[in-house]
Structure 1
Amino acid sequence: MPHVERGMSVGLFGGSFNPPHRGHELVAEIALRRLGLDQLWWMVTPGNPLKSHSELASLEDRVAMSRALAPGPRVKVTAFEAAHGLRYTAETLAFVKARNPGIRFVWIMGADNLRSFHHWQDWRTIAETFPIAVIDRPGSTLAYLSSKMAKTYTHARVDEDDAATLASLNAPAWTFIHGPRSSLSSTAIRGERAAAGTPVS
């Protein structure tokens, strides 16, 4: 895991990043700025348990592509989940929390993931481990009203004008951040490259 100092605010941004693209970069930039983070960990996962791995580029390639795209020195690209055999986000958050006392973490995800968040393994545990920042994505803006997670934790929602306070709050606490959106998606990019006979990496 990246080096941190006690008292830091750190965003955790996980995904398969297959491949990483400008939309991921934009989420990272918005999170750093709006949440007032000291660092953002861009966590490249071995694979998403809810998705097929048939088109998954190697972890090494996805890490390299993510490092090439990461916006600035405060973004730390890491793949520690693979080294420790972590498969599910709830496991990862418990692992991170146990090894980093005194660090204020925020889980960061795109709004497209909010719609299906209740299908994730131990999703309530995730929501009650670290505060969550949901960054707007095209076609998913209303997820903050309609998703099961949003309805279950409506009492814990923080106004986005107060997003900079999120890292100091105890979970459950979450906010939905509007802002610039990119229409890019890894699925679409893979489809375009497959049609052109170009490898993902």
Structure 2
Amino acid sequence: MSFFHAGPAPKARGPRPGVLRDGLDLSPGMAVGLFGGSFNPAHDGHAHVAETAMRRLGLDRVVWLVSPQNPLKNARDSAPLNERMASAVAAAALAASGPSMIVSDFESRAGTRWTIDSLRALTARHPGVRFVWLMGSDNLAGFHRWRGWTDIMELMPVAVIARPGSLHHSRTAPAAARYASARVPTRQARLLPDLEAPAWTWLTAPLNPRSSTALRAARDAAAHL
């Protein structure tokens, strides 16, 4: 199964219209999911989230934005960026829509630290692309702690994909309550990329229990045997 991996920056003075310096080529009119995270490491649960969003929202692409360092997490617990990129590439290849999955280090190249700044940069560089922010329900539970979280909700539509262990807390999260009137029924999810923000929907699918935290714990335990 093939996939696209953002290559080195081109030598041109600036990006061509619709093309990022990291080689990410998106065309006006495309419906594109933005799936950000530390991916420390990425796993088939991430692929499940990306594939669910791709299929249920009718997306043309899903861009995996591998964060150089999540400001809300301890840097000592994070693997080097190149290792997390490699794990994201491997996980993206597991998705049925593998060729439409793009793994990108855009945030490192753009020098953005916070998600809202990354999304503003992407929308500015890609006018006409219909972006949707994707996240698991575990992230929605704490979304109100993110810098500029209301700005994210007002910038582009958001799709929340159910993840194990967070269904109750995410449904009652401050973000869900604040934007309750902007929630789009699941049966109308394919309309989301064309809607003006704020607009969000909740997507359910067979749950995948894989967890980056659990994988790191298992790895560390094995290292001490």
Q: Aligned pair 1:92/2:118, yes or no?
A: yes
Alignment check: 8 A CA contact 1:11 1:40 kept: yes
What do the CA deviations read for 1:57-102 (whole angstroms, capped 9, x no partner)?
A: 1111111111122121100000110111111111011101111000
Q: Aligned pair 1:34/2:60, yes or no?
A: no
2:187 pairs, out of 161, 166, 171, with 161
Distance in 1 between residues matched to 2:149 and 2:46, nearest whole Å: 22
Per-residue deviation at 1:23?
Answer: 0.6
Per-residue deviation at 1:144?
Answer: 4.6
2:176 pairs, out of 146, 150, 156, with 150
Query: Of the two, which has the highest radius of gyration?
Result: 2
Alignment check: 8 A CA contact 1:13 1:107 kept: yes
Change (3 A) 1:144 1:160: farther
Gaps of 5+ in 2: 1-19
Aligned length: 198
Q: Give me the TM-score of the superposition, normalised by structure 2.
A: 0.86
Deviation beyond 4 Å, 4+ runs, structure 1: none
Q: Percent identity?
A: 48
Alignment check: 8 A CA contact 1:144 1:176 kept: no
Please provide the CA RMSD for this pair. 1.1
Alignment check: 8 A CA contact 1:131 1:171 kept: yes
Per-residue deviation at 1:55?
Answer: 1.9
2:35 pairs, out of 8, 13, 31, with 13
Comparing 22-31 with 144-153, greater Cα deviation is found at 144-153
Correspondence for 2:139: 113
Alignment check: 8 A CA contact 2:41 2:212 kept: yes
Correspondence for 2:14: none
Alignment check: 8 A CA contact 1:23 1:182 kept: yes
Gaps of 5+ in 1: none
SS of equivalent to 1:124 = helix
Q: Aligned pair 1:43/2:48, yes or no?
A: no
Correspondence for 1:66: 88
Comparing 153-162 with 135-144, greater Cα deviation is found at 135-144
Distance in 1 between residues matched to 2:79 and 2:166, nearest whole Å: 26
Q: Give me the TM-score of the superposition, normalised by structure 1.
A: 0.96
SS of equivalent to 1:23 = helix
